[in-house]
A = this chain, B = another copy of it.
Amino acid sequence: MQITAEQIAALVNGTVDGDPSVQITHPAKIEEAGPGSITFLADPAYEHHLYGNQATAVLVSRAFTPKQTLAASLIRVDDVRAAVTSLLVAFQETEASRTKRATSAQAVVHESAQIGENVRIGKFSVVEAGAEIGDDTVILDQVYIGPGVKIGARCVLYPGTRVLRDCIIGNDCTFHSNVVIGSDGFGFAPQSDGTYKKVPQVGNVLIEDHVEIGACTVIDRATMGSTLIREGVKLDNLIQIGHNVEVDINTVIAAQAGIAGSAKIGKSVRIGGQVGIAGHLTIADGISLQAKSGVGGHLREEGQALMGAPALPYRDFQRSYVVFKQLPEVYRELARLKKEVEALKEK
């Protein structure tokens, strides 16, 4: 891709300070920006990098005054971070954008499936009986869409995604490679002889609009009813979502976290990496769980931050952990005091 500073300025609603005709080929971080790149200065702590690199253009705030002369053209904008996102959108070329909108000759689409307008179905992908695919959705290669699955418009399913029978996906969702939606929930009834009998999982997974799901994340279908992922939820990679879980709008979950069956996660909750939440719990809106926290009880107070396994209020955990580090000293101190008290008693 080749674009001028002037064209970028138009994209991000900015003004050029310097040569507007310089050619930009790629965006770069400020520490690594070389010739042909456009970089950005959002955090003043990084300003010194500007004077050492060879960026061709830099996104800066309207008020920015360089401390040294800069060869780069400056593009001044109101909100640098927002402009960076717009800029990256312009430079983005994904598998989806590079792919022809048509059913590949190597795909197998069941005759009863309903495929919208301008849809891609990639090589070695399968769309089973009764499935529906909305307009402008891109199903890349080697994807499985099970019988009765419904997928909305403008979704992107990366190679290796599996969406199993009867699951329902909204609009504008993105699923990364090897995601599994609708695997059976982990339900087994213990028998008197020590074996387990499978409880059939006859529900589905229901995912609303604007949900993004990271690579190798698994969402189990409900035993009955639906496992529910509401609008705007963002899930990172390698996450486990158990059967009948509900995750409410705009909640964000980091990699390798796990939510056990029937837990109800509120709105705008932030869950750190490797967090575990036990089954049948309610987590209130706006809660924030630090990475590696373990939650074994309901969290009903909205907006609180927690840490630890089992999780405690963030500051309480930190204060206790400070003492945990000193426990050997506490122990010695206690033993010493004991002796002193004994001595005093004998006086």
A residues contacting B by CB (< 8 A) are: 26-29, 32, 81-82, 84-85, 88-89, 91-95, 98, 106, 108, 123-124, 126, 128-129, 140-142, 144, 146-147, 158-160, 162, 164-165, 174, 176-178, 180, 183-184, 186, 188-189, 194-202, 210, 212, 214-216, 218, 220, 223-225, 232, 234, 236-238, 240, 242, 244, 249-250, 252, 254-256, 258, 260, 267-268, 273-274, 276, 278, 291-292, 294, 296, 309-310, 312, 316, 319-328, 330-331, 333-334, 337-338, 340-341, 344-345
Cβ of B85 and Cβ of A223 under 8 Å apart?
no
Protomer copies:
3
Q: What are the residues of chain B within 8 A of A291 when measuring CB–CB?
A: 260, 276, 278, 294, 296
Q: What are 22 A-to-B residue pairs whose CB atoms are below 8 Å?
A: A26-B202, A27-B224, A91-B200, A91-B202, A92-B201, A106-B108, A123-B126, A124-B126, A140-B144, A158-B162, A174-B184, A183-B215, A183-B237, A215-B220, A216-B218, A216-B238, A237-B240, A292-B294, A322-B328, A330-B331, A334-B334, A340-B345
Cβ of A256 and Cβ of B254 under 8 Å apart?
no
Bound Cα distance from A201 to B236, whole angstroms: 14
Q: What are the residues of chain B within 8 A of A238 when measuring CB–CB?
A: 216, 218, 238, 240, 258
